[in-house]
């Protein structure tokens, strides 16, 4: 390991700046390392010292042993005989933090490297030199790299300030005209270009043009350029969507140059956006100036590259903006499509609702039509029953006939199980299955009476016939009553409105309904929890229909619930001075959550082969009644607790509210 070079003078440290020792590290086998180090040191006088390591392992050991050293540059050789790949060796160097920040200069004697992809990919290769090298070139390279490193890593270091100008460019100018000109700002290059042109053509007049002047015209051949010395120019392109401003900040200083270079019609219209000061140069003038003054070529190239670079950057920017815009558009398109989907869904819901409403209206219409025949049928059934009683009474065996008829007509329902058991008893008593069945069907269960009748065939015939009439009348009455109920509930859909009545006691209405429904509520425990309610203005008949529907609903829910005794709770209170509230709770099986949002829609369900009006229509009517009263109905349900809450205004329905469908 060798150390060479010169240390910084004491004055450098004395100024109180942090002046770390800078070391350029040479990684090469001896004796080559010494040669490289010596030449490198010559380029780094006053900047950095040079240290050598025979290989990457030694290099790592060296920086570990001297943690205070800062390494701006590593020179590493990659000769053909190296067993390891150059990538691997550079990666090993990079394992040391201080080296991973250094620039890497590769010195190679190979014509081709296929072992540098990682280093290039990770931006760890800063310069490649061929060995052997021309004398002095290594010192020059090492210095340039070190200065570059200092300007980007140590801008505040006094050594950096001595080497690098305030704008970050190295104090030493590039040697080539082109790169030198490119380092200048646009205005300076333009000034130099114009100066060169004027040396050939003599002084050129300045043209002063106001804002809005078109300097070149889209679609027209360009045969002159305008050198812009002051002011701003925009480049616009006419498109189907109107004039597009493509460049403004990115307009070059020689307008028309690119079109001229391509011998094409102008793609843009160049328009002054401020007052401009320009110099007009025809194609021939420019040609002559360039031919006479060779150095003008570099200035033209620099101006062109500048303009191109600006426009290219602008184009890149536009590309990025376009991509972002496309993303935004795509996002909006998705949102629109989602909104469209929701609208379509809403439309379908509306159609569905309209369909239900139509069905409901149709049902109400049919119910209207059926009302009279059904009422007539119910009455006729009653008359037939009454008249039959009189006819039977006139029969020679009038007492027997009337008794059997009445018994059969009024026979209470029994389960088929009970009936079977009763029949078995009769069979056992009579010992004749066929006879027992006949007598049983005629309503005779008492064995003694059965025996008497069995011995009297004419009476048995009469009893059988009269029992048949009795059960037929009963079934007729039952059937017509059911039809009547159905028609009534359907008619409620289109019930005409009367005038609301004031001073109604809501509890009285509830109690009336409970009384009317007593037959259905026989097995249900009713719990009342009535609060103090003001008398309200309402349609009392409508409200009874409302309570009926809600109670029927609660009953139905209990009916199919298997757990224990059914319970319905009625809770009333006044949430505020202007409203009364009725809650009907049941402990039934609850309403299917999927159905819950639609329970207030009028509809028909076909379930297990039966058309049912119950749930849908009953609640739909309830909703209609509550709405017509200007109130609110809510339903919450979970298994074991369904709660319908009706809130009504004490003042009653809004005046012009129309309850009709």
The residues of the shown chain that bind another protein, judged by CB under 8 A, are: 413, 415-417, 419-420, 433-434, 437-438, 441, 468, 471, 474-475, 478-479, 560, 606, 608-611
Q: Which residues contact 574 (CB under 8 A, 6 or more apart)?
A: 531, 532, 533, 534, 580, 581, 650
Rounded Cα–Cα distance for residues 477 and 152 (Å): 106
Least distance to another protein, CB of residue 391, Å:
21
Residue 575 φ/ψ, nearest 5 degrees: -65, -30
Nearer to another protein, 196 or 385 (CB): 385
Cβ-based neighbour number of residue 302 at 10 Å: 24
610 strand-pairing partners: 607
Nearer to another protein, 111 or 611 (CB): 611
Least distance to another protein, CB of residue 488, Å:
20
Q: Do 410 and 475 touch, CB atoms closer than 8 A?
A: no
Rounded Cα–Cα distance for residues 111 and 80 (Å): 10
Nearer to another protein, 50 or 469 (CB): 469
Cα 636 to chain centroid distance, Å, stands at 30
Q: Indicate the SS3 state at residue 237.
A: strand
Residue listed under structure tokens 């029994």: 414
Q: Three-state secondary structure along 195-229?
A: HHHHHHHCCCCCEEECCCCEEECCCCECCEEEEEE
Retrieve residue 577's tokens.
């001075």
Nearest to 233 by CA among 184, 202, 266: 266
Nearer to another protein, 213 or 471 (CB): 471
Nearer to another protein, 56 or 476 (CB): 476
How far is residue 63 from each of residues 42, 95, 235, measured CA to CA in Å? 22, 11, 57
Nearest to 558 by CA among 635, 639, 619, 646: 639
Least distance to another protein, CB of residue 370, Å:
17
Nearer to another protein, 339 or 479 (CB): 479
Least distance to another protein, CB of residue 445, Å:
16
Rounded Cα–Cα distance for residues 571 and 554 (Å): 14
Nearest to 183 by CA among 163, 194, 167: 167
Task: Please confirm whether the linkage preceding 31 is cis (ω < 30° from 0).
Answer: yes
Least distance to another protein, CB of residue 447, Å:
20
Nearer to another protein, 229 or 406 (CB): 406
Least distance to another protein, CB of residue 588, Å:
15
Least distance to another protein, CB of residue 434, Å:
5
Retrieve residue 303's tokens.
């101006």
Least distance to another protein, CB of residue 438, Å:
7
Nearer to another protein, 47 or 469 (CB): 469
Task: Please confirm whether the linkage preceding 204 is cis (ω < 30° from 0).
Answer: no
Nearer to another protein, 394 or 608 (CB): 608
Q: Which residues contact 220 (CB under 8 A, 6 or more apart)?
A: 265, 266
Nearer to another protein, 198 or 523 (CB): 523
Least distance to another protein, CB of residue 421, Å:
11
Quote the strand ranges of 126-193, DSSP E: 127-130
Least distance to another protein, CB of residue 604, Å:
12
Least distance to another protein, CB of residue 550, Å:
23
109 strand-pairing partners: none
Nearer to another protein, 223 or 523 (CB): 523
Rounded Cα–Cα distance for residues 53 and 44 (Å): 18
């Amino acid at each position: 390991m060798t150390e060479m070079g010169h240390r910084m003078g004491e004055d450098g440290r004395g100024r109180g700046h942090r002046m770390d020792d800078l070391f350029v590290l040479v990684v090469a086998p001896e004796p080559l390392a010494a040669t490289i180090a010596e030449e490198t040191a010559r380029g780094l006088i006053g900047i950095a010292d040079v240290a050598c390591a025979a290989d990457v392992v030694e290099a790592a050991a060296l920086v570990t042993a001297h943690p205070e050293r800062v390494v701006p540059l590593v020179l590493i050789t990659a000769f053909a005989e190296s067993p390891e790949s150059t990538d691997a060796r550079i990666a090993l160097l990079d394992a040391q933090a201080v080296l991973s920040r250094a620039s890497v200069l590769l010195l190679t004697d190979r014509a081709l490297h296929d072992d540098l992809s990682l280093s290039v990919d990770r931006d760890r290769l800063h310069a490649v030199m061929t060995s052997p090298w021309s004398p002095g070139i290594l010192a020059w390279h090492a210095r340039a790299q070190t200065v570059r490193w200092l300007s980007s890593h140590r801008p505040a270091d006094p050594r950096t300030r001595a080497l690098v100008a305030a704008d970050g460019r190295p104090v030493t100018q590039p040697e080539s005209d082109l790169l030198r000109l490119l380092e200048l700002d646009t205005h300076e290059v333009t000034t130099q270009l114009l100066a060169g042109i004027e040396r050939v053509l003599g002084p050129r007049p300045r043209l002063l043009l106001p804002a809005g002047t078109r300097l070149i015209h889209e679609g027209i051949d360009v045969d002159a350029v305008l050198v812009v010395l002051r002011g701003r120019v925009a480049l616009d392109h006419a498109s189907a969507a109107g004039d597009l401003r493509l460049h403004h900040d990115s307009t070059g200083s020689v307008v028309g140059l690119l079109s001229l270079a391509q011998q094409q019609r102008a793609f843009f219209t160049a328009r002054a956006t401020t007052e401009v000061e320009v110099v007009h140069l025809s194609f021939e003038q420019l040609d002559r100036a360039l031919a006479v003054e060779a150095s003008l070529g570099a200035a033209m190239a620099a101006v062109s590259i500048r303009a191109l670079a600006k426009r290219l950057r602008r184009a890149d920017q536009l590309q990025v903006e376009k991509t972002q815009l496309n993303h935004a558009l795509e996002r909006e398109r998705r949102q629109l499509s989602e909104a469209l989907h929701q609208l379509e869904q809403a439309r379908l819901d509306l159609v569905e609702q309209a369909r239900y409403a139509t069905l409901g209206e149709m049902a109400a219409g049919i119910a209207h039509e059926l009302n009279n025949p059904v009422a007539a049928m119910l009455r006729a059934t009653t008359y037939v029953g009454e008249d039959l009683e009189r006819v039977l009474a006139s029969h020679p065996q009038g007492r027997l006939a009337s008794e059997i008829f009445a018994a059969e007509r009024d026979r209470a329902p029994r389960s088929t199980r009970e009936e079977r058991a009763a029949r078995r008893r009769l069979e056992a008593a009579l010992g004749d299955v066929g006879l027992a069945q006949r007598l049983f069907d005629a309503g005779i269960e008492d064995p003694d009476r059965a025996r008497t009748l069995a011995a009297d065939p004419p009476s048995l015939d009469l009893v059988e016939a009269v029992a048949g009439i009795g059960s037929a009348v009963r079934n007729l009455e039952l059937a017509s009553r059911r039809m009547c109920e159905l028609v009534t509930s359907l008619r409620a859909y289109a019930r005409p409105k009367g005038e609301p009545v004031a001073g109604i006691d809501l509890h009285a209405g509830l109690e009336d309904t409970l009384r009317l429904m007593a037959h259905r509520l026989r097995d249900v425990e009713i719990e009342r929890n009535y609060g103090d309610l003001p008398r309200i203005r309402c349609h009392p008949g409508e409200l009874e229909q409302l309570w009926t529907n809600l109670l029927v609903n609660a009953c139905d829910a209990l009916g199919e619930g298997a757990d224990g005794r059914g319970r319905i709770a009625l809770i009333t209170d006044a949430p505020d001075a202007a409203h009364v509230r009725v809650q009907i709770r049941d402990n039934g099986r609850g309403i299917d959550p999927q159905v819950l949002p639609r329970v207030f829609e009028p509809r028909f369900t076909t379930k297990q082969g039966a058309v049912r009006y119950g749930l849908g229509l009953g609640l739909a009517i309830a909703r209609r009644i509550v709405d017509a009263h200007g109130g609110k109905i809510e339903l919450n349900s979970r298994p074991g607790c369904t709660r319908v809450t009706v809130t009504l205004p004490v003042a009653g329905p809004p005046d012009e509210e129309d309850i009709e469908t």
